[in-house]
């Protein structure tokens, strides 16, 4: 371009005015193999046309590289009006095409953004649905993460999303463990848990179920001698049900009590409902467990307790391997998410729920289908 300007000045003089400049391709097939021509339009007082060509050597070339030629045309502006008009039209067409392409890309980005926002909003919506039923945020996120792997979480398939949530919840809950009546040998069940959760009543319900409905021979043992009312309560149940009861005051008495019930199909043991912070709790339970061959231990928890307290209780009983979980006061609870919270935290099998004080009616195996419906608000 600098060389072209020099040419203009040398041909037209220093008063020449540059009106327009552009690069154009060489015409014809051979134009593909030549450099672009620089066209400069200039004017002075008189109208005339000057065309000139010059060649220059490339600054960097190899021995095999041919000499390159550039062409400069200096034309009269009056003669170039038609060409300029065509070029202007072509430029406008290109600009319009670029705008349309940009518009399409922007629309796609907007649509993708809107879709992403909708999915995120729906994700938050279902997280809130779960947390409103007392599921922890961590468990809620786990559930929705699994759902999102299976289906698209958008606003058009709410029923499908809820069904997927139920399936994931039931998978996490697992099949509840039931006390079966067809054991080939004697089974011993121990019930542990904090004070006031309803261990004694729960034990009595299961004893009545086995004795009255399954016609099994049952023996009761209580180690809860810290509360006089607890011993009297279990004595009353044993008399009504016609089931023998043995009371032990020291852990080493457990061996004799077990031997006294050799003829029984099932032995159910009630333990003291100590404060879970009491260090003596562990010593007493471990002392009794060493006299029992393969006991089945049930940790009894209240469904109306808050999650933080439930976690602390579970931690205090973590020295007991493979215990199962029973939830009481189902009829008093407003929300039921803590059942799944505890299941996920403790990694223990679920078993029974109790829903009233009536013996033996108000106890049943946990229904995971019904619970999943409740948690997602489908009932």
CA distance 187 to 126: 44
**Sign for the pseudo-dihedral over CA of 194, 197, 199, 200:** positive
Q: Residue 63: its pLDDT value, please?
A: 37
Could you report the per-residue pLDDT of 232-255, keeping only the tens digit for each?
A: 888 998 999 999 999 998 888 999
Confidence of residue 101 (pLDDT cuts 50, 70, 90): low
Interval 126-141: pLDDT, tens: 889 899 888 999 999 9
Say if residue 114's pLDDT is above 50: no
Largest CA distance in the chain: 133
Residue 273's contacts (CB-CB under 8 Å, 6 or more residues apart) are 193, 194, 195, 196, 197, 199, 224, 226, 227, 230
Lowest mean pLDDT among 70-74, 152-156, 332-336: 70-74
Decide if 325 contacts 345 (C-beta within 8 A): no
Mean pLDDT of 20-36: 65
Measured distance CA(306)–CA(184) in Å, rounded: 40
Q: Which range, of 63-72, 102-111, 308-317, 363-372, averages the lowest pLDDT? A: 63-72
For 334, residues 6+ apart whose C-beta sits below 8 A from its C-beta are none
Q: What is the pLDDT of residue 13?
A: 75
- pLDDT of 64 above 60: no
pLDDT at 69 over 50: no
Report DSSP letters for 269-300, one per residue: EE-----TT-THHHHHHHHHHTTSSS-EEEEE
Query: Which residue is it, tokens 């404060």?
Result: 275
- Residue 38 per-residue DSSP state: E
| pLDDT-derived band at 17, boundaries 50, 70, 90 | confident
pLDDT band, very low/low/confident/very high, at 153 (cuts 50, 70, 90): confident
* 359 close to 186: Cβ distance less than 8 angstroms: no
Per-residue pLDDT, 196:
86
Q: Could you give the CA distance from residue 93 to residue 281 in angstroms, rounded to a whole number?
A: 87
Residue 220: half-sphere exposure toward Cβ, Cα within 13 Å: 31
Statement: residue 303 has pLDDT above 90: yes
Question: Which whole number is the average pLDDT over 201-205?
Answer: 93
Cα distances (angstroms) measured from residue 336 to each of 23, 89, 177, 309, 315: 77, 72, 19, 15, 21
Residue in 73, 76, 12 with CA at minimum distance from that of residue 49: 76
């Amino acid at each position: 371009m600098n060389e072209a300007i020099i040419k203009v000045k040398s041909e037209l003089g220093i008063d020449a005015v540059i009106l327009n400049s552009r690069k154009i391709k060489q015409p014809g097939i051979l134009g593909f193999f030549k450099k672009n021509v620089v066209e400069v339009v200039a004017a002075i007082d008189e109208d005339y046309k000057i065309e000139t060509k010059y060649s220059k050597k490339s600054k960097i070339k190899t021995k095999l590289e041919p000499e390159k030629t550039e062409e400069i045309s200096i034309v009269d502006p009056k003669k170039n009006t038609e060409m300029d008009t065509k070029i202007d039209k072509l430029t406008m067409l290109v600009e319009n095409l670029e705008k349309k392409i940009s518009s399409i890309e922007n629309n796609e980005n907007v649509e993708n953004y809107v879709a992403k926002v909708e999915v995120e909003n729906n994700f938050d919506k279902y997280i809130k649905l779960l947390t409103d039923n007392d599921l922890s945020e961590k468990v809620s996120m786990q559930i929705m993460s699994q759902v999102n792997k299976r289906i698209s979480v958008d606003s058009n398939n709410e029923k499908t999303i809820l069904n997927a949530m139920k399936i994931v919840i039931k998978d996490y809950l697992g099949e509840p463990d039931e006390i079966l009546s067809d054991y080939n040998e004697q089974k011993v069940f121990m019930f542990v848990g904090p004070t006031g959760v309803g261990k004694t009543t729960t034990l009595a319900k299961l004893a009545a179920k086995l004795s009255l409905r399954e016609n099994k021979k049952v023996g009761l043992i209580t180690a809860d001698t810290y509360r006089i009312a607890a011993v009297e309560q279990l004595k009353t149940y044993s008399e009504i049900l016609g089931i023998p009861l043995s009371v032990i005051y020291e852990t080493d008495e457990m061996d004799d009590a077990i031997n006294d019930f050799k003829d029984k199909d099932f032995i159910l043991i009630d333990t003291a409902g100590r404060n879970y912070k009491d260090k003596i709790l562990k010593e007493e339970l471990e002392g009794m467990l060493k006299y029992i061959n393969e006991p089945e231990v049930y940790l009894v928890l209240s469904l109306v307790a808050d999650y933080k307290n439930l976690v602390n209780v579970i931690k205090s009983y973590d020295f007991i391997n493979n215990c199962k979980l029973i939830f009481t006061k189902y009829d008093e609870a407003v929300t039921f998410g803590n059942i799944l919270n505890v299941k996920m935290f403790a990694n223990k099998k679920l078993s029974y729920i109790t829903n009233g004080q009536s013996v033996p009616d108000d106890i049943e195996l946990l229904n995971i289908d019904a619970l999943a419906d409740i948690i997602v608000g489908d009932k």
